[in-house]
Amino acid sequence: MRGTLSDRTGAALLMAPLLLFLVLAYAWPFLGVVKWSFTLPTPGLGQYHALLTDDLVQSVFIRTLRIAAIVTVVSVTAAYAITVVWVRGSPLQRVLAEFCILVPFWISVLTRAFGWVALLSNRGLINTWLQSIGFISEPLTLVRNEFGVIVGMSHFLIPFAVFPLASAMRSLDERVLLAARGLGSSRMRTFWTVFVPMTRSGIIGSAMIVFVFSLGFFVTPAILGGGRSVMIAELIYLRIFQSPDWGLGAAISVVLVVFVGALMALVFRYVKPKQLV
Amino acid sequence: MQQPGRAAEIKANGIGKSFGSFRALDDLTLDIGRGEFLTLLGPSGSGKTTFLMILAGFVQPSEGRLFSDGVDITDRPAEQRAAGMVFQGYALFPHMSVEQNIAFPLKVRKKSATEIKRRVGEMIERVGLNGHEKKLPAQLSGGQQQRVALARALVFEPGVLLLDEPFSALDKGLRGQMQAEMKRLHQETGTTFVFVTHDQSEALALSSRVAIFNHGKLLQVGRPDEVYDRPDNRFVAEFLGEINMLPVKGVKPADNGATGLCEDRAINMRCKAEKVRGDAILAIRPEHMSIAREATAGENGIAATAVASTYLGAATKLDLTTRQGAKVTVSVPNEVAAAALRKGNSVWLTWPAEKGFLLPDGGQ
């Protein structure tokens, strides 16, 4: 037991700098934000009451949840397909998939958002091309709306969705798949009834990462949404930096953090954290 | 592997498999009879598992053809062969209950819900899993998981059941119990069983025939008593159990057998000497030799000295050295061993002429 104890002390010491950093950089300032939400402009629950009654705040909340949900479905589905190729494909397919997963990490989120503007805008590549082949006469509105936001966010989040899926697929016992085929199940059926259910923890982990990231997205919706599909992070920014309404901005932040915390607690009841990486 | 409920007859014709430069299986020709319990026995890397995977359709042979009931199935994918298969480690579906695992092959075959329910119920009854229907594999003991794997592989009445070292994860007591159970299932279903193991006692106890593999080659196939008592070569002789090797000189055919000189004494052998002439090795199992006080005229025997003993409960294993220095092990009653050791010097080692077999000198 002494060994265990000193092991634990050692682990705690190694963790200490990280913990200290989290407390100083996140927990402490966040407590300040919590304080603002109850004290600005006047002490009380006024800001939380406003949250419940303010139509704008509510519609932004709902839009954020909707976009996050759609982005989650899109990203996890696309990431699933990429991961299958990455983990189970031929050596060449693996290299290509790995390239596609890693390259986006080298390009800043800002660059990528403007890249999508260049592609999707009225005089962007896609509209120009579709008009030149005569497929459409008027440009499609692909950007400065929710569609653009969803495309841009999904593109950013797919690589993050890949890792929990890859870990689930790698730990899967190959013989179970062989067993299914040996029992008469086609490749397709084996995929849907055995492979996908067996990677469930990866899907949940992946979905959670994407969903939580989506809730806090700021730059991508700000650029690709063009002010028309404001998400919650942008609303917080506007409340604090544009209108001196720190109390409301703080209250929205608190609600967002509590919501994410509750969501993670719920998911961790079904999936162990270590299954996610 | 076609009609449900009917045992399949399988023919392997010149099957070979290479993985890169590694020759996993070489020119294998083997007939597996309808309803037979065939064991593929050999050390790891001997090709036995590769052959099982080829039978299942998971591995494509590099050459040769495979027939089931006269139909060429070499190119048929695994899901269309539908041989029942029990994997090492069972490979149960972890997200499905016992019931759902067993129902899987029937669902794939689009059987009606009532038929699935009935047949799964029967199978659960047959393997003794009543009361565990709703449990997940992770909630079961090793022996119970094994039963689920057997039930799942047999429920759709495959023509052949393939078993890949199914007992390797079980402790000894449970292993014996499951072996008995498998023998019973074989008799009840009448299906052809092909069983892979590296445990020779398991092979001898269970099978109607044993096929012994080494280095990708099929060395011998025969009934357990045939391969045990009359192995074709030294590897088979040694792999199936402990065996003594005595050099014999001047071997020549004689009336119903052969004669020769063992440690300068004339001996008679009932085994055929067509493959060996001159110098050879006489191989005899420890339990076929006995200890006598002195030589009896006309009986095979040589002088030896007892050097050590191992008490095994029912009998004692006695290590001896012959006058010319060959090391011999015999299995004898406990009091005989004690007496031989007390005596401290020469005893007489005898064996009946019909026991033992000749192998080429130094041959493999």
Q: What is the pLDDT of residues B124-175, one digit of tens each?
A: 998 889 999 999 999 999 889 999 999 999 999 999 999 998 888 788 888 8
Best of B3, B86, B87, B164 to disrupt the A interface (most A CBs within 10 Å) is B87
Contacts of A84 by beta carbon, 8 Å cutoff, 6+ apart: A169
Q: Which of B264, B128, B148 is nearest to A179 (CA)?
A: B148
In chain B, which residues have their Cβ closer than 8 Å to the Cβ of A193? 104
In chain B, which residues have their Cβ closer than 8 Å to the Cβ of A201? none
User: B4 lies in a domain?
Assistant: no
**Contact flag A198-B156 (C-beta cutoff 8 Å):** no
Is beta strand B37-41 parallel, antiparallel or unpaired with respect to B192-197?
Answer: parallel
Q: What residue of A is the nearest CA neighbor of B108?
A: A185
Give dist(CA B63, CA B18) in Å, integer. Answer: 9
Best of B60, B93, B157 to disrupt the A interface (most A CBs within 10 Å) is B93
Report pLDDT for A276.
56
In chain A, which residues have their Cβ closer than 8 Å to the Cβ of B57? 182
Task: Give the domain range for residue B282.
Answer: 244-360
Report pLDDT for A185.
92
Backbone phi, then psi, for B324, in 5-degree steps? -95, 10
Q: Residue A82 above 90 pLDDT? A: yes
Query: Both tokens of residue B164?
Result: 């890949």
User: B5 lies in a domain?
Assistant: no
Q: Please tell me whether residues B176 and B270 are part of one structural domain.
A: no
**Contact flag A182-B56 (C-beta cutoff 8 Å):** yes
User: B2 lies in a domain?
Assistant: no
Please say which residue of B235, B262, B287 terminates a domain.
B235
Query: Both tokens of residue A100?
Result: 């596609």
The verdict on ipTM greater than 0.90 is no
DSSP A120-180: HSTTSHHHHHHHHTTS-SSPP--SSSHHHHHHHHHHHHHHHHHHHHHHHHHTS-HHHHHHH
Check the CA dihedral A17-A20-A26-A29 and report its sign: negative
Counting the structural domains of chain B, the total is: 2
Q: Please tell me whether residues A52 and A108 are part of one structural domain.
A: yes
Q: What percent of chain A has pLDDT over 90?
A: 44
Q: Please tell me whether residues B266 and B311 are part of one structural domain.
A: yes
Q: Residue B1 above 50 pLDDT? A: no
Q: Please tell me whether residues B79 and B195 are part of one structural domain.
A: yes
pLDDT digits (tens, 9 = 90+) for A183-226: 999 999 999 999 999 999 899 999 999 999 999 888 888 888 87
In chain B, which residues have their Cβ closer than 8 Å to the Cβ of A198? 93-95
Residue with tokens 């397909």: A81
Q: Name the 3-class secondary structure at B195.
A: strand
Report pLDDT for B364.
42
**Contact flag B91-A178 (C-beta cutoff 8 Å):** yes
Q: Name the 3-class secondary structure at B348.
A: strand
Query: Both tokens of residue B25?
Result: 């299986």
Query: Predicted confidence band at B273 (pLDDT cuts at 50, 70, 90)?
Result: low
Q: Please tell me whether residues A140 and A14 are part of one structural domain.
A: no
Q: Name the 3-class secondary structure at B290.
A: strand
Cα→Cα distances A200→A61, A171, A206, Å: 28, 12, 10
Q: B23-54 burial by CB neighbour count: b if 16+ within 10 A, else e?
A: bbbbebebebeebbbbbbbbeeebbbbbbbbb
The CATH code of the domain that includes B292 is 2.40.50.140
Give dist(CA A116, CA A143) in Å, integer. Answer: 8
Q: What percent of chain B has pLDDT over 90?
A: 49
Crossing angle of helices A91-102 and A55-88, in 10° steps, is 150
CA-based nearest distance B205→chain A, Å:
27
Q: With contact defined as beta carbons under 8 Å apart, do A206 and A164 qualify?
A: yes
Q: Please tell me whether residues A144 and A183 are part of one structural domain.
A: yes
CB under 8 A, 24+ apart: contacts of B187-191: B188/B126, B189/B154, B189/B157, B189/B161, B190/B7, B190/B35, B191/B7, B191/B35, B191/B84, B191/B154, B191/B157, B191/B158, B191/B159, B191/B160, B191/B161
pLDDT digits (tens, 9 = 90+) for A242-251: 888 888 889 9
CA-based nearest distance A272→chain B, Å:
16
Best of B80, B108, B155 to disrupt the A interface (most A CBs within 10 Å) is B108
DSSP B356: -
CA-based nearest distance B154→chain A, Å:
10
Please, which residues bridge with residue B196 across strands?
A: B40, B164
pLDDT digits (tens, 9 = 90+) for B23-48: 999 999 999 999 999 999 999 889 99
Of A181, A193, A198, Cβ closest to residue B78? A181
Task: Give the domain range for residue A258.
Answer: 46-276
